[in-house]
Amino acid sequence: MAVLFERVAIAGVGLIGGSLALAAKRAGLFGHVVGLGRGEANLRLARDRGVIDEFTHDPVSAARGADLLFLAVPVRALAPVVRACATALAPDAVVTDAGSVKGAILAAVEGELPPGVAFVGAHPIAGGEQSGAAHADAGIFRGQVCVLTPGAAATPAATAKVRALWEGVGMQVVEMDARRHDEILARVSHLPHVLAYALMNAIADDTAFTFAGGSFRDFTRIAASPADVWRDIFLANRVALRTALAEVRDAVDAFDRALAANDEASLVALIEAARARKRRCDDGGA
Amino acid sequence: MAVLFERVAIAGVGLIGGSLALAAKRAGLFGHVVGLGRGEANLRLARDRGVIDEFTHDPVSAARGADLLFLAVPVRALAPVVRACATALAPDAVVTDAGSVKGAILAAVEGELPPGVAFVGAHPIAGGEQSGAAHADAGIFRGQVCVLTPGAAATPAATAKVRALWEGVGMQVVEMDARRHDEILARVSHLPHVLAYALMNAIADDTAFTFAGGSFRDFTRIAASPADVWRDIFLANRVALRTALAEVRDAVDAFDRALAANDEASLVALIEAARARKRRCDDGGA
């Protein structure tokens, strides 16, 4: 494939930033890649592994002449990074990200961009609990879905380049409105994280953990997810998340009412409805 | 090891019943094993795989002269099976089970036993979503925890034999009061199942499933669990489960309040508390 971006600045060379750099280099989509970050050891490791070509702690050096700025930092760090990089970018640069919330990021980032620089929000739905360049893996995107939420200032050309990038690393790209993205992700990602954290907090006595089986460990795997990342996501998507919380509370209350009434038929109906959705989910959604 | 039980009747030759038969035969703990069930194809498969020596659909034939009756059927089927088998058992037979709820089973089963026959409730915390003798696996118990809840009618000798059986297939055996077992399992098993089912029911639009990542799939894996099994467990443990539901509702509300107030510090404190418990859980409990 032809090089899409000659000079790339990657802010945050963690699991996602590092994996995209690796995958895009391997696919011939990136020319020179500069890593921008704070952690010296992580950046050095990324360079030594060939994830990036060089690194810096200085946003202006990283962004100088870059035709792509890829933001792979926690949600609240995005706007400050864009602000610090903006004027050094190439005149027709494209900015994209990998944030799990799109509306708040769009609102925060678009105001920081100079004319001619387009922001095309992206959410590659990939990754895991691991973090850091040490876990960068070119294969994590393949076959997964990436949502693009181009904002008002995104040109069709910029959106097409960002689409080509994510498709080039093997993702299935879907464009949608940022608000709709946030409503969906509130339900299939942010809500399960709240429930997993809440379940851990509801278990007052550690002795119980001795009797936790494999299903509990799978269910609470995401309760290990880092606080800074999820604080930002929860707050940036708080309106949709609170709506989703109210919906799951209603769904839990339906079980509680059936239990209170010893109502077998309702209980079976609730379980079978959930199982039917689970089967449709495992079949890949609608 | 010496044979613990010469003639064993296994009611329900599914994943747990079949796996125990395989493991105990391999360890030399079981003599002749008779499978009792309804599904002809499953029983035939179990016999052909060597999981059981013979099978029958008749409780009296299965139980005749048996010195162990192992109950691996859904919770509500236990008492009827015991009733049908009781008079045919050997005079000093031992009855045990693998149910996920212990108080209700103890209450239902003890009344059905003839004098001299002891019931020692057991809950091997092992298994998975798979079912049927086809998935029987002698290795599923090894290194896992088995809770014994001997009732009033259990003699020390009967409890010792049941302990030797579960230890003989590699389990770590813990004895406790049935009520305490049910309170703990309500939290680490029954509650997560309700939450997983409820989450599926809260997602009204199947399109969302297209955007579900690996964490959602892990979190909702147990939402595929069968309705008959979980209806019985939920109802048999409804008091403890409703208490646990109220506790998790409080824990979710704490997140909701922090979101409503845009309260970063509280949100971080809630997440960090959950993560600390998750770490202690992964370290194996207290």
Distance from CA of B20 to the nearest CA of A (A): 17
Domain boundary (B142, B176, B210) is at: B176
Total domain count, chain A: 2
Both A200 and A256 in one domain: the answer is: yes
Last residue of one domain, picked from the residues B157, B176, B195: B176
CB contact under 8 A, B281 and A207: no
Percent of chain A with pLDDT over 70: 98
Give B-chain residues touching A267 at CB under 8 angstroms: 231, 234-235
Task: Round to whole Å and give the CA distance between A265 and A278.
Answer: 20
H-helix segments, chain B: 15-26, 40-48, 59-63, 78-85, 103-110, 156-168, 178-185, 191-202, 214-219, 227-236, 238-260, 264-282
Cross-chain CB nearest to A197 (options B210, B264, B270): B270
* DSSP annotation of B190: I
Task: Tell whether B213 and B96 lie within a shared domain.
Answer: no
Q: Are residues B44 and B81 in the same domain?
A: yes
Residue A126 parent element (H or E): none
The whole-angstrom separation of Cα B286 and Cα B284 is 7
- In chain B, the residue whose alpha carbon lies closest to the alpha carbon of A189 is B216
C-alpha closest to that of A55 among A39, A41, A43: A43
Q: What is the mean pLDDT of residues A108-122?
A: 93
Determine whether the interchain pair A252/B194 forms a contact, defined as Cβ–Cβ distance below 8 Å: yes
Residues A189 and A63 in one domain: no
Closest CA to A203 of B209, B187, B175, B201: B187
Name A117's Cβ contacts closer than 8 Å, sequence gap at least 6. Answer: A86, A89, A91, A92, A93, A94, A95
Same domain as A130, residue A50: yes
Q: Are B285 and A208 inside 8 Å of each other by CB?
A: yes
Note whether B35 and B153 are same-domain residues. Answer: yes
CATH number at residue A260: 1.10.3660.10
> B271, A230: Cβ pair inside 8 Å?
yes
**Residues of chain B contacting residue A254, judged by C-beta atoms under 8 Å apart:** 198, 201
Residues in contact with A280: Cβ distance below 8 Å, sequence separation at least 6, in sequence order: A286, B206, B209
H-helix or E-strand spanning residue B70: strand B68-71
- Gap between the Cα atoms of A229 and B86, Å rounded: 59
Does B190 share its domain with B169?
A: no
CB contact under 8 A, A221 and B219: yes
* Beta bridge pairs of residue A95: A69, A119
What angle, 0 to 180 degrees and rounded to 10, lies between the N-to-C axes of helices A103-110 and A178-185?
Answer: 140
**Least CB-CB distance to A264: which of B212, B226, B235?**
B235
- Nearest residue, CB atoms, A188 vs list B195, B211, B231: B211
Q: Look up residue B94 and give its DSSP letter.
A: E
The reported pLDDT for the residue numbered A198 is 97
**CATH for B12:** 3.40.50.720
Q: How far apart are CA A230 and CA A232, in angstroms?
A: 5
**B220/A192 Cβ within 8 A:** yes
Encode pLDDT of A200-239 as tens digits: 999 989 999 999 988 899 899 999 999 988 999 999 999 9
R_g (Cα) of chain B, nearest Å: 21
Tell me the CA distances in angstroms from A17 to A22, A24, A38, A75, B245, one per residue in order: 9, 11, 14, 14, 39
Residue B152's Cα: distance from chain center in Å? 21
For residue A173, the cross-strand partners are: A146
Contact present, B169 and B141 (Cβ < 8 Å): yes
Q: What are phi and psi of A228, to 5 degrees?
A: -65, -40
Contact B195 A191 (CB under 8 A): no
- C-alpha distances out from residue B280 to B148, B277, B284, Å: 24, 5, 7
- The answer to whether residues A157 and A41 belong to one domain is yes
Measured distance CA(A226)–CA(A228) in Å, rounded: 6
- Indicate whether B109 and B9 sit together in one domain: yes
Chain A residue numbers with beta carbons less than 8 Å from the beta carbon of B189 are: 211-213, 215-216
What integer best gives the mean pLDDT of chain A? 94
Q: Complex ipTM, two decimals?
A: 0.90
**pLDDT value at position A1?**
62
pLDDT value at position A152? Answer: 84
Helix (H, G, I), strand (E, B) or coil at B97: strand
Which residue in B has a C-alpha nearest to residue A199's C-alpha?
B248
A16 in Cβ contact with A127 (< 8 Å):
yes
| Tokens encoding A159 | 């959106």
Structure tokens at B50: 């060597």
Domain boundary among A110, A144, A176: A176
- Per the CB < 8 Å rule, is A211 touching B184? yes
What confidence score (pLDDT) does residue B186 get? 97
CB contact under 8 A, B199 and A196: no
| Per-residue H/E/C for B197-253 | HHHHHHCCCHHHHHHCCHHHHHHCHHHHCCHHHHHHHHHHCHHHHHHHHHHHHHHHH
Q: What phi and psi values does residue B170 have, to the nearest 5 degrees?
A: 100, 5
Whole-prediction pTM: 0.89
Tell me what pLDDT residue B286 has: 47
**Rounded-to-integer distance, Cα B43 and Cα B47, Å:** 6
Of B189, B199, B225, the CB nearest to A192: B199
The structure tokens listed for B246 are: 């109220």
Task: Give the pLDDT confidence of A36-49 residue by residue, as tens digits.
Answer: 999 999 999 999 99
Same domain as A22, residue A164: yes
| Amino acid identity, position B42 | N
Same domain flag for B45 and B106: yes
pLDDT averaged per 10 residues, chain B (length 286): 93 96 97 96 96 97 98 91 96 95 94 93 86 91 96 92 98 97 97 97 93 90 92 96 98 98 98 96 73
Handedness of CA B123, B124, B126, B130 (dihedral sign): negative
pLDDT score, position B137: 94
Q: φ and ψ at B4, to 5 degrees?
A: -90, -40
What is the span of the domain harbouring residue A187? 180-282
How close is the nearest chain B Cα to the Cα of A101, in Å?
Answer: 13
Q: In this complex, do A210 and B264 lie within 8 Å of one another by their Cβ atoms?
A: no
- Nearest alpha carbon to residue A53 among A85, A21, A82, A11: A21
How many Cβ contacts (< 8 angstroms) between chains A and B? 312
If asked whether residues B147 and B252 sit together in one domain, one would say: no
